[in-house]
Chains A and B, each alone.
Chain A
Amino acid sequence: MLAHVITFAVRGIESLRVTAEVDVHRGLPAFSIVGLGDQAVREARERVRAALHNSGFRFPQQRVTVNLAPAYVRKVGAGFDLAIALGILAADDQIPAERLRACAVFGELSLGGGLRPGRGALAIAEGAARAGIATLIVPAENGEEAGLVPDIDVRAAGSLGAVAALLRGEEIDYEAEPAVPAAPDPVAEPLDLSDVRGHAGPIRALTIAAAGGHNLLMSGPPGTGKTMLARRLPSILPAMTQDEAIEVTRIHSVAGLRSGGGLARERPFRAPHHTISPSGLVGGGAVPTPGEASLAHNGVLFLDELSEFPRNALEALRQPLEDGRVVVVRKQQAAIYPTRFVLAAATNPCPCGHAGTTRCRCTDADHQRHRRRLSGPLLDRIDLLVDVQRPAASELRAGPVARSAELRDAVEAARERQRSRLRGTVARCNAEMSPMLVREHVALDEAGERLLRKAYEAGRLSARGHHRVLKVARTIADLASSESVGVDDVRVALGWRLDVEGSDDASAVA
Chain B
Amino acid sequence: MPAPSLEECCDACLRRTALLALLAPHVEVARHDRRLSGLLTLADHELLAAIAGRKRAWFEAAIERFDADAARATAARAGLAQLCRHAAGYPARLLEGADAPAVLHTLGDRSSLPVATTPAVAVVGARRASAYGLEVARALGRGLAAAGVPVVSGMALGIDSAAHTGALEAGGPTIAVLAGGADRAYPRSKATLHRRIAATPGCSVVSEMPPGFVPFRWGFPARNRIIAGLADTTIVVEAAERSGSLITAELAQELGRLVAAVPGAVTNPMAAGANALLRDGAELVRGAQDVLDALLGAGVRVVADGPDPAALEAPLRALLDRLGPRPATSTALLRSGEAPDAVVAGLAELELLGYARRVPGGAYVLAAG
Contact = CB atoms under 8 A, between A and B. Distances in A.
Interface string A439-467: 00000000000010011001010000000
B205 to A, nearest CB: 16
Contacts of A371: 360
B156 to A, nearest CB: 11
B348 A491 contact: yes
Contact of A387 (B330, B339, B359): B330
A389 B344 CA distance: 14
Interface stretch (A229-237, A265-273, A293-301, A492-500): A492-500
Contacts of B165: 508-509
Contact of B329 (A387, A488, A505): A387
A25 B35 CA distance: 101
A498 B157 contact: no
B352 A455 contact: yes
B348 A204 contact: no
Contacts of A387: 329-331, 362
Interface string A384-401: 010111001011001000
A371 B332 CA distance: 21
Interface in B325-369: 326-332, 334, 336, 338-349, 351-352, 358-363
A495 B347 contact: yes
B157 A356 contact: no
Contact of B348 (A367, A389, A498): A498
Nearest to B130: A364
Grouping DSSP codes into helix (H, G, I), strand (E, B) and loop, the B interface class, with mixed when no group exceeds half, is helix
A510 B161 contact: yes
Contacts of B56: none
A495 B345 contact: yes
B341 A495 contact: yes
B158 A350 contact: no
Nearest to B138: A509
What is the interface of chain A mostly: helix, strand, loop, or mixed?
A: helix
A368 B189 contact: yes
Interface residues of A, number: 51
Interface in A27-45: none
Contact of A499 (B127, B138, B362): B362
Given A200-B336, A365-B157, A398-B336, A506 B344 contact: no
A491 B349 contact: yes
Given A387-B362, A389-B331, A510-B162, A205 B348 contact: no
B301 interface: no
B360 A495 contact: no
A350 B327 CA distance: 14
Contacts of B358: 498-499, 502-503, 505-506
A333 interface: no
A219 interface: yes
B18 interface: no
Interface string B247-272: 00000000000000000000000000
A287 interface: no
Given A495-B345, A506-B358, A201 B363 contact: no
A427 interface: no
**Most A-side CB within 10 Å, residue of B129, B134, B193, B344:** B344
A204 B327 CA distance: 23
B5 interface: no
Contacts of A201: 330-331, 334, 340, 343-344
Nearest to A498: B348
B117 interface: no
A350 B361 contact: yes
A204 B352 contact: no
A69 to B, nearest CB: 60
Interface string A343-365: 00000011000011110101111
B128 interface: yes
A389 B129 CA distance: 25
B319 to A, nearest CB: 11
The CB with the most chain B CB atoms within 10 A, among A200, A360, A367, is that of A200
Nearest to A495: B344
B189 to A, nearest CB: 7
Given A355-B360, A389-B329, A509 B336 contact: no
Contacts of B162: 509-510
A389 B345 contact: no
A362 B131 CA distance: 12
A27 B174 CA distance: 96
9 contacts: A355-B363, A388-B331, A492-B341, A495-B347, A495-B348, A499-B330, A502-B351, A508-B193, A509-B162
Interface of A: 200-202, 204-205, 219-220, 349-350, 355-358, 360, 362-365, 367-368, 371, 385, 387-389, 392, 394-395, 398, 451, 454-455, 458, 460, 476, 488, 491-492, 494-496, 498-499, 502-503, 505-510
Given A364-B157, A510-B134, 6 more contacts: A200-B340, A357-B327, A385-B362, A387-B331, A389-B331, A506-B359
For the complex of A and B, list the 8 residue pairs with the smallest distance between their C-beta atoms, beginning with the closest.
A355-B361, A356-B363, A495-B344, A367-B360, A495-B345, A201-B340, A495-B348, A389-B331
